[in-house]
Amino acid sequence: MSVAAVTLRSMSVPVSVSLAADTADEPVRRSRPALSPSRAADFKQCPLKYRLRAVDRIPEPPSRAAVRGTVVHAVLEDLFGLPAADRHPQRAAELVPGAWDRVRADRDDIDQLVAAGGPEALFEEVRRLVESYYELEDPTRFEPHALEERVEVDLAGEIPLRGFVDRIDVAPNGLLRVVDYKTGRAPGPLHEARALFQLKFYALMILRTRDIVPAQLRLIYLADKVLLTYAPDREELERFERILIALWQAILEAGRTGDFPPNRNAMCRFCDFQSLCPEFGGTPPPYPGWPQQDSAPVELGLPDVRPPEDV
């Protein structure tokens, strides 16, 4: 596969203003429910899973895959912090221990995930994924506009959307590309809709914050070296906006009634909440109620660490 072109020649919509310029100094609002791509997907997949994650805030044990993905993201962020000429594969490999130290410092419950093989075994897994990145893009040939960008918008004036974007590129001709890294395998045809859902979510937030339709959105699947690209248009994003509005209304109604029914499906085998799910003989905890506007600070839409499906 050829290295991705960095001039974004196929793009057609210019951007003329910094995406972070007018929000970087504002305090992050954390006291009301919000919707992120992951939490929206949770509710669509299983309302009970959404409730246990977003309302009850029940801790989930970290997985090796999630920790590995977080370290890969940290390495790629550090890589783009270097001068372009220094972003070669050997230097990227050298960044892995430092990225691991930062991730480990933020979480005190992940040492057991590397106890058997030690951190070096994890480091080697991370290095292989980072090496794959070089077969898809050449990081020495462009400067990203933003890294790990937190994007927020109130949709329709009342639906708070939240999300982290791994990278935003602005081409010399002013065209915008949104990039997200994935350390899992690329989805097959039956599961591409979930990946496109996340891309459309990001595109809609950019549209509503800047009145710009991103010319390209790109998912980079490192495990099998696949690029998934999407070129949105305004009409499609407006239709997607109506879908999110309806989804949010359904979430609010569930929050009002406390009715978050389980939905048994193929993803249940990966769920950490089976012991609390009636479909598996469990009992959910008493419903704590929907958070009020003046409740203690919570962030229902954006978890503290990226869930496995986001890495």
pTM of the full structure: 0.81
Quick check: 160 and 200 in contact, CB under 8 A? Answer: no
Q: What is the mean pLDDT of residues 141-148?
A: 94
Quote the mean pLDDT of the chain. Answer: 83
Q: Specify the 3-state DSSP secondary structure of 98.
A: helix
pLDDT of residue 28: 35
HSE value, Cβ hemisphere, 13 Å, CA-based, for 91: 15
Q: What is the mean pLDDT of residues 32-37?
A: 82
Lowest-pLDDT choice from 22-31, 85-94, 189-198: 22-31
pLDDT of residue 143: 94
> Is the model's pLDDT at 15 over the cut of 80?
no
> Is the model's pLDDT at 290 over the cut of 80?
yes
Quick check: 170 and 145 in contact, CB under 8 A? Answer: yes
Q: How confident is the model at residue 69 (pLDDT cuts 50, 70, 90)?
A: very high
pLDDT of residue 106: 83
Q: How confident is the model at residue 293 (pLDDT cuts 50, 70, 90)?
A: low
Q: What is the mean pLDDT of residues 86-106?
A: 95
Q: What is the mean pLDDT of residues 91-105?
A: 95
Domain boundaries, the chain: 37-243
Question: CA-CA-CA-CA torsion for 183, 45, 217, 159, nearest 10 degrees?
Answer: -130
User: Which two structure tokens, joined as six digits, stand for 125?
Assistant: 């897994």
The angle formed by the CA atoms of residues 168, 98 and 123, to the nearest 5 degrees, is: 95
The rounded distance, in Å, linking the Cα atoms of 199 and 216 is 10
Q: What is the mean pLDDT of residues 1-17?
A: 37
Quick check: 25 and 157 in contact, CB under 8 A? Answer: no
> Is the model's pLDDT at 16 over the cut of 90?
no
pLDDT of residue 245: 94
The amino acid that residue 306 corresponds to is R
For the domain bounded by 37-243, which CATH number is listed? Answer: 3.90.320.10
The rounded distance, in Å, linking the Cα atoms of 184 and 68 is 10
**Complete edge-to-edge strand list for the sheet that includes strand 146-155:** 146-155, 159-170, 176-182, 216-221, 226-230
Q: Specify the 3-state DSSP secondary structure of 166.
A: strand
Q: For 222-231, how does the pLDDT look when each residue is reduced to its tens digit (9 = 90+)?
A: 999 999 998 9
E-strand stretches of 47-156: 146-155
Q: For 42-64, how does the pLDDT look when each residue is reduced to its tens digit (9 = 90+)?
A: 999 999 999 999 999 998 888 88
Q: For 163-213, how does the pLDDT look when each residue is reduced to its tens digit (9 = 90+)?
A: 889 999 998 888 899 999 999 888 887 677 778 888 899 999 999 988 999
Q: What is the mean pLDDT of residues 136-140?
A: 96
The segment with the largest mean pLDDT, out of 4-8, 32-36, 257-261, is: 257-261
> Is the model's pLDDT at 29 over the cut of 90?
no
Q: What is the mean pLDDT of residues 126-140?
A: 97
Quick check: 85 and 304 in contact, CB under 8 A? Answer: no
Helices 96-106 + 64-79 axis angle, to 10: 120
Q: What is the mean pLDDT of residues 79-105?
A: 96
